[in-house]
Amino acid sequence: MATVQRNKESNDMTYETILYEVRDGLAEIRLNRPHRLNAVVQTLYDELNAALDRAAADRAVRVVLLTGEGRAFCVGADLKEHKAGRTAFERRQYLRGEQVVCKRILQHDKPVVAAVNGYALGAGAELAIASDFIVMAESARIGLPEIGIGSFLGGGVTLLLPRLVGLAKARELIFTGERIDGAEAVRIGLANRVFSDAGFLDEARTFAQRIASGAPLSMQLAKEQLNVAAEGTLDAALTAELEGMMFCSTSKDWQEGVDAFAEKRAPLFKGE
């Protein structure tokens, strides 16, 4: 039976703009401004960053599942909040909020799965692209409209998107602002899976739980190395992999994996 911890736990932590719960090894974070299609404001960035820290510190959490409440994943910045009269410093702090959150997702100790349940535009797309995996509902659309509205990209997308889809396709998506569906996102290597709208979140959870079944220490090392390998050399990758193999071979999880294989059963990893 699933163990579910909702927003109000022993530390009485509550949020205004997100929902947080832990179930079966997943920390599920849902952006919760459905009346604005989960458009981002500073508070959302602050709370999302706090929730990511919370998931990192919780040993019961193996994978983070990020999605949106209501009809959208996240449609980007809430333009109604861009009021005249804000100082340059205040604008910079708001814009930096996205950079901080996307970096936190990218460098999180645990895999992050973005479950795109509707529009993921601008900052919303960038949150998804910073994640380790993207799964999309059939009706979902993802796009980067910044150039078309005189804005600019954030969240490291100028580095991350070409890695996923190649430079030529990244240019096309960025310069045209085209919104693509899940099938096209999978075809070009941007998304991992597309699921039907009916039961989408259940399918996304099943996908995330499959990731969560892996050994936590091994997953953490694999995520770190995959993120940095493209910027390094073959020798650096081989050295990092050797150190990773040696480290994992000293863990209890490694012995559990060996024993489970010999006994023809599923391993029970503990992150030790």
CB 192 within 8 A of CB 133: yes
* Catalytic, out of 16, 90, 146, 231: 146
126 counts as catalytic: yes
Burial class (CB in 10 A: 0-12, 13-18, 19+), 173: buried
189: left (phi over 0), alpha (psi -120 to 50) or beta: left
Encode burial over 145-159: b for 16+ CB neighbours within 10 A, e otherwise. Answer: bbeeeebebbbbbee
List of residues 6+ apart from 198 with CB closer than 8 A: none
User: Tokens 């980067």, residue?
Assistant: 144
List of residues 6+ apart from 118 with CB closer than 8 A: 37, 68, 70, 71, 72, 73, 137, 139, 140, 141
* Catalytic, out of 28, 47, 98, 126: 126
98 counts as catalytic: no
Cα–Cα distance, 146 to 153 (Å, whole number): 6
Nearest to residue 112, comparing CAs of 95, 129, 98, 96?
Answer: 129
Question: Which residues are annotated as catalytic?
Answer: 126, 146
